[in-house]
Amino acid sequence: MVWLPNSHSNQKDIQAMFDDYVSHNIQFGTVNIDSRWATNFNTFVFNSTNFPTIRDMLDGFRAKNKHIVLWMTSMINTDAETFKYAQDHGYLFNKTIKWWHGNGRLLNYFNDKAVNWWHSQIERLLDTVGPIHAFKADGTDPYIIELLDPRVTWERYRNAYYNDTFQILRRLVGPDALIMSRPVDNDLNFSPREVVFMGWVGDEDATYDGLKTALRYMLESGRRGYVGFGSDIGGYRADNQAGPLGRTKELFLRWTAVGALSSFMENGGNGEHLPWKFDDETTNIYRSWVDLHYQLVPYLYSEGTKAALGRNGTLMRPCDDIEALFTHTYFLGPNIFVAPVLQDPAPGQTQRVWLPKSSTKHWINFFNTSVTHEAHTFIHEDTSRLDRIPIYIQQNSLIPMYDIEKNYSLNAFKFVLWGKAITHEQHTTLFTRDGQQWLLKFDRTRRRFTTHFIQQFDSNEKQEWIWKFCQYTNGQELCSREWISLFDNASVQLDVLI
């Protein structure tokens, strides 16, 4: 997801950002339009001065298969054109609160008429500008404590706010609709776990301490069972001591690596976040991390779906081994292990990395599959390059990935076996983004790989998928020759297998 801060919430700047990402060949899937897009906060009517042909712009985004996110909260300001009506009808809590965008009152989610009125404005918005994929539901909910009403606790109010926002979009748009909201921030739970699939952990500084804070809240979100989340790459706040761009390229790219290795990769905030504004090296490295993130989407989507259905998992689980204390290392899904780098690169620089236990007792270097490490031991990893951080894959993992070189419409899968085939049978579950569930089965003895259809879940659109089988080992990529349509009992005989 890409976005600009609210000082640039206008059609000209957002369209220019969109076009610039395209011209630099940097993929993105979602555009977020930050606060100040409306006539006033949460009126749900676009400001026609700043967005003179908003429907045309959003239709253009949708035509290129981009999703749209709009910022919102549960606060109506006293100077908004809807305030008097809402106040006269008893739709607001009866206390004016000073918040970061002025003075306003919170919507009363426990008044059915208030909620129906709120929903009618959202319906009018979608009728006017077309469907959106998500609201970025920002954190006005803690202000409820200023009411000093023991019957309306923060927990009760935040559950109502985030759940209602999630459900109204799903009712109006369909099963692909989401909200963007906080999981853990300031060590506190914000959204209910069952609605957080594109969470972000609040506003961090554009420093390495800010990156450490983001990682701390992300890992704590994982401990508390939130499924999917990320952070503002480079930090939301600008660092005035980092020069005119508000952050250094080194920090920006170290954070980009963490963003790519999160389930929700998103980039925007105050100061400069557009990679080409730094230099060509930054642009190229940023693009490479975005491409890696897209390759991993089938794995993240499948493992995230398993966690969501089981209601007891996460995509970003901290390594809680005592040997990894304070390192911020984490598991991305069950098979990938990540060691963030929290300093600028330097010649000859290495980082001591603890590799945890593995079911196969070995970890493979993601960027060089000829390098295999024993599990449950310390290694020293080269961190002198700005375009790399340490990433490891459990040996013999079977991981679904997109082949972005074959098809950047993301309809081509590579089902990858990492390392030498050492187990007689290996299988995993694939969930496609159009709601299909598949069993992927590798049989080493018969030298065969097979796909089995399980079931179809609800989705707004159906896709056609193609796939091939690959093995990554000894620094090589060995793939089956032909692309095959994904259907029940589709299989390939593995002529080359290590």
SS (H, E, C) the chain: CEECCHHHCCHHHHHHHHHHHHHCCCCCCEEEECCCCECCCCCCCECCCCCCCHHHHHHHHHHCCCEEEEEECCEEECCCCCHHHHHHCCCECCCCEEECCEEEEEECCCCHHHHHHHHHHHHHHHHHHCCCCEEEECCCHHHHHHHCCCCCCHHHHHHHHHHHHHHHHHHHHCCCCEEECCCEECCEECCCHHHCCCEECCCCCCCHHHHHHHHHHHHHHHHCCCCCEECECCCCCCCHHHCCCCCCHHHHHHHHHHHHCCCCCEECCCCCCCHHHCCHHHHHHHHHHHHHHHHHHHHHHHHHHHHHHHCCCCCEEECCCHHHCCCCCEEECCCEEECCCCCCCCCCCEEEEEECCCCCCEEEECCCCCCEEECCEEEEEECCCCCCCCEEEECCCEEEEECCCCCCCCCEEEEEEECCCCCCEEEEEEECCCCEEEEEEEECCCCEEEEEEEEECCCCCCCCCEEEEEEEECCEEEECCCCEECCCCEEEECCCCC
pLDDT given at position 437: 97
pLDDT at residue 460 tops 80: no
Mean pLDDT over residues 387-401, rounded? Answer: 97
Q: What is the pTM of this model?
A: 0.97
pLDDT given at position 495: 86
- Domain boundaries 398-493, CATH class: mainly beta
What is the domain partition of the chain in residue ranges? Answer: 2-314, 322-393, 398-493
pLDDT given at position 100: 97
Mean pLDDT over residues 427-450, rounded? Answer: 96
pLDDT given at position 462: 84
Same fold, 2-314 and 322-393: no
Q: What is the pLDDT of residues 102-157, one digit of tens each?
A: 999 999 999 999 999 999 999 999 999 999 999 999 999 999 999 999 999 999 99
- Domain boundaries 2-314, CATH class: alpha beta
pLDDT given at position 60: 98
Higher-scoring residue by pLDDT: 430, 422:
430
CATH, domain range 322-393 = 2.60.40.1180
Q: What is the pLDDT of residues 47-79, one digit of tens each?
A: 999 999 999 999 999 999 999 999 999 999 999
